[in-house]
Amino acid sequence: MKIKKILSLLLVVAFSIQLVSCANMSDQTRTRAEGAGLGALVGGLIGLAAGDTKGAIIGALAGAGVGFLIGNEIARRKAKYASEEDFLNAEIAQLARLNSSTYKYNCKLSRDIYALKKQVASLKARYKKRAVKRTVLAKKKKEIQKRIEANNKMIEALEKEYKINVAILDEQKKKRKKKDPYVVKLEREIKTLKKNIDALQKNAKQLAEMDERLSV
């Protein structure tokens, strides 16, 4: 019963924020408000999922801030272009470039991981035979940890870009037809970005496993 009350409160918080996105607002202001409402609801539900009823309320307020930042970023990008179509073309082109670069990075990282696995296996075998010192393993471990750090930063940046473009897509789906070319292209690039992020996360997992293997 308590959870139902909290869920109701979360919906009220989200709906209250959404009310400010009325018809007389500019696109930029409306985008900010819609982002805040969505963030409030998602943030609160995360708190509930963690089993923290008090945290759910705090999460709703924190989520509102996060949502507002996403909406604000979208509004900032829109302001650079004379029309919404120009804005969408730019976002789609930017996503395409980002996907191409990320794909190439993933391919190179996969090859590097393949080579690193052999190196780690060899080092571990030689260490067991006392053919190399612990400092050699520590040096390789430090190298891998730097790769992990760089990879995690890239994942974080891509995930932010993913959230921003999902919000843009949701907004456009409300305005345009289902088969609208802008919607279709943007959705395709977003799906590709998600696949690229998933591939990066798999590579991150393999790097973490190698890092663990070098712990002695």
Please check whether residue 140 is in contact with residue 211, taking contact to mean a CB–CB distance below 8 angstroms: no
Question: According to the model, what pLDDT value does residue 18 have?
Answer: 46
Please check whether residue 208 is in contact with residue 144, taking contact to mean a CB–CB distance below 8 angstroms: no
Q: Supply the angle between the helices 53-78 and 84-128 in degrees, to the nearest 10.
A: 120
Which amino acid appears at position 68 of this protein?
A: F
Q: Cα–Cα distance between 202 and 91 in angstroms, integer?
A: 26
| Averaged pLDDT, groups of 10, the chain, 216 residues long | 47 47 53 53 48 50 58 87 94 91 90 94 94 94 92 86 92 90 96 95 95 90
Q: Cα–Cα distance between 65 and 60 in angstroms, integer?
A: 9
Q: Where are the alpha helices (DSSP H) in the chain?
A: 2-19, 27-49, 53-78, 84-128, 134-175, 181-213
- Parse the chain into domains and list their residue ranges: 2-78, 84-213
Question: According to the model, what pLDDT value does residue 59 have?
Answer: 52
- From the list 65, 50, 49, 71, the residue with the least C-alpha distance to 13 is 65
Q: Structure pTM?
A: 0.70
Please check whether residue 127 is in contact with residue 134, taking contact to mean a CB–CB distance below 8 angstroms: yes
Give the pair of three-digit tokens for residue 27. Answer: 């696109």
Question: According to the model, what pLDDT value does residue 114 have?
Answer: 95
Taking CA atoms, 6 is separated from 16, 37, 53, in Å, by 15, 16, 7
Question: According to the model, what pLDDT value does residue 6 have?
Answer: 47
Which positions ≥6 away from 81 have C-beta within 8 Å?
87, 90
Torsion angle, CA of 34/36/42/45, rounded to 10 degrees?
Answer: -120
Count of residues making up the chain: 216
Question: According to the model, what pLDDT value does residue 21 have?
Answer: 46
